[in-house]
Amino acid sequence: VSGPIHRRGLLAIGVGAMAAPLVLRGGVSAAEDPFALGVASGEPWPDGFVIWTRLSQSAVGSLGISTPVRWQVAEDAQMGRVVAQGEVGADLRKAFAVHVEVAGLRPNRPYWYRFTALGAQSRLGRTRTAPGRGARVKGMRIVAASCAHWESGWFSAYRHMAEENPDLVLFLGDYIYEYSYRGERAEQLVRRHNEDAEVDDLAGYRARYAQYHSDPDLQTLHASAPCLATWDDHEVQNDYAGEFPMGLSVPKDRFLARRAAAYRAFYENMPLRGRSDPEQNDGRVRLYDRYRFGDLVQLDMLDGRQYRTEQPCHSPGTRRGRVAPATCAEFVDPARTMLGVEQERWLYDGFRRAAARWTMIGQQILVAPYTQPAPDGSLGTFTDGWSAYAANRRRMLDALVGARARNPVFLGGDMHAFVAADIKADPPNPASRTVAAEFVGTSVTSDPSPDSLMQSLPQNPHVRLFENRHRGYMSLDIDHRRIETRYQAISDRRDPRATVSTFHRFTVEAGRPGLITHP
């Protein structure tokens, strides 16, 4: 370690102590702590990963000049064997976010990291590199979460996810919410967004992420393992689709400016590579990518929002998702796409080269069809889901089956319910053969999906579980013979000390597509 580093943060922290609150010594108040937004790591590859932090505005002030931030990566939790280090600048232009792409490390082992700036030290983060390409991997644990509305509850699910000591954390959308509750519902909330209004500009989205990153449970999770993140709609606006806002009367250029601000704030606040920076990509964020974990898992992370065509069969006044008659012809229009032409091509090409035991696809919504009641009582199709882009889903499943990609498993979010389904070769036909399994975690805090969806379970025989009463996450233990998925429910989203228990388990066995349920 070079330079006069004043150690004021926590020093050696083991995994068990990671839930401890950030204690600053030397008279630095939390408001002045430059690392009040925590640390994170992501995008594990065999010789490195991204480490991230974002200095708090209150500590840095509104300086236009760059603040130097030192970073260190070590092989041990005591930071005794430092194997990489350097210094980067935190700039106002990027809201004082710091992304470091660390390379040259050894595969499939843990590393620890921390930052120092302005005389203070960050908490210690733990992360790990991915196994080498094709390397024999015995097993791994992936935890996945989605839909964390700050106002709806405490992030206890995140704390319990960290306690599972995962190899990888997946965020499958709605990491923040752009809207705030008002009126009667607002009075029952456990905590409030800083801004009462719906955020729609760069300052607003940045402040929203800063608030979420101030949460100790989210910080604990990020400091415990590397993550991969995709987004859903609420990182920008409810039910937007590609370049189409929810509201029909909003001018396109105004919505694209809003989207660009939201995308920029997302990049600034996630441990993503520089190549995802929208400033280098004409306002877009390259989020979809393929990750390999030795011979065990190929994980394709998809972006089902940015490149979508407009939702089909929307109501005359708004694109807000609704249940439309299943007979609406636009649902099967082959010109419509959830992923966009380029991402579709990339995905199908990857299926052909999938060599790992498990072909996993992480994305934001339910892939299986789900017939549900329309307001008039008839059964229909939700216009914001995969069934509304049925031709794209058909192309995706045909490519998966045609490529003989081994043991496909889909992971998703959005439903605010635990859902488990068999994916059928011909999805609308429950009698067709099962080709994949699907797991959807419930929300971290967000309100449950309507009970009417749960009551539609008998109309959806390929769906094995639909349960909206619990908030929580899912945890997957993966080895070469099977995946065991636990649906983990927290006791009460209104309790900051909520406990966790396993609500249900499913197994998928290699070589046998679909779910095996446990009593």
Which residues 88-127 are close enough to bind Fe ion by CB under 5 A?
none
CB of 147 to Fe ion, least distance (A): 3
CB of 177 to Fe ion, least distance (A): 7
Count of residues that interact with Fe ion, criterion CB under 5 A: 3
CA distances, 402 to each of 340, 349, 352, 362 (Å): 20, 11, 8, 20
Based on CB atoms, which residue is closest to Fe ion, 232 or 295?
Answer: 232
Based on CB atoms, which residue is closest to Fe ion, 96 or 466?
Answer: 466
Q: Does 233 bind Fe ion (CB under 5 A)?
A: no
Residue type at position 415: M
Token couple for 40: 């994170």
Angle subtended at Cα 285 by Cα 86 and Cα 275, rounded to the nearest 5 degrees: 35
Segment near Fe ion (CB under 5 A), from 190-198, 400-408, 438-446, 465-473? 438-446
Are the beta carbons of 442 and 500 closer than 8 angstroms?
no
Binding mask 470-509 for Fe ion (x = CB under 5 A): ----------------------------------------
Q: What is the dihedral of CA 222, 224, 226, 230, to 10 degrees?
A: -40
Based on CB atoms, which residue is closest to Fe ion, 18 or 145?
Answer: 145
Q: Binding residue for Fe ion (CB under 5 A) from 147, 236, 260, 409? A: 147
CB of 174 to Fe ion, least distance (A): 4
What crossing angle do the helices spanning 252-268 and 202-213 adopt, rounded to 10°?
Answer: 30
CB of 388 to Fe ion, least distance (A): 17
Based on CB atoms, which residue is closest to Fe ion, 116 or 387?
Answer: 387
Token couple for 516: 């095996």
Are the beta carbons of 239 and 384 closer than 8 angstroms?
yes
Segment near Fe ion (CB under 5 A), from 162-170, 182-190, 300-308, 443-451? 443-451
* HEC letters along 383-411: CCCHHHHHHHHHHHHHHHHHCCCCCEEEE
Based on CB atoms, which residue is closest to Fe ion, 321 or 340?
Answer: 321
Based on CB atoms, which residue is closest to Fe ion, 164 or 174?
Answer: 174
Based on CB atoms, which residue is closest to Fe ion, 148 or 297?
Answer: 148
Phi, psi dihedral angles at 421 (to 5 degrees): -145, 155
Q: What is the dihedral of CA 478, 479, 481, 482, to 10 degrees?
A: -10
Based on CB atoms, which residue is closest to Fe ion, 55 or 417?
Answer: 417
Residue type at position 372: Q
CB of 146 to Fe ion, least distance (A): 6
Integer Cα distance of 266 and 315 in angstroms? 30
Are the beta carbons of 286 and 270 closer than 8 angstroms?
no
CB of 189 to Fe ion, least distance (A): 16
Integer Cα distance of 78 and 76 in angstroms? 5
Q: Binding residue for Fe ion (CB under 5 A) from 33, 43, 151, 174? A: 174
CB of 449 to Fe ion, least distance (A): 9
Which residues 445-474 are close enough to bind Fe ion by CB under 5 A?
446
Residue type at position 98: V
Which residues 281-340 are close enough to bind Fe ion by CB under 5 A?
none
Residues that bind Fe ion (CB under 5 A): 147, 174, 446
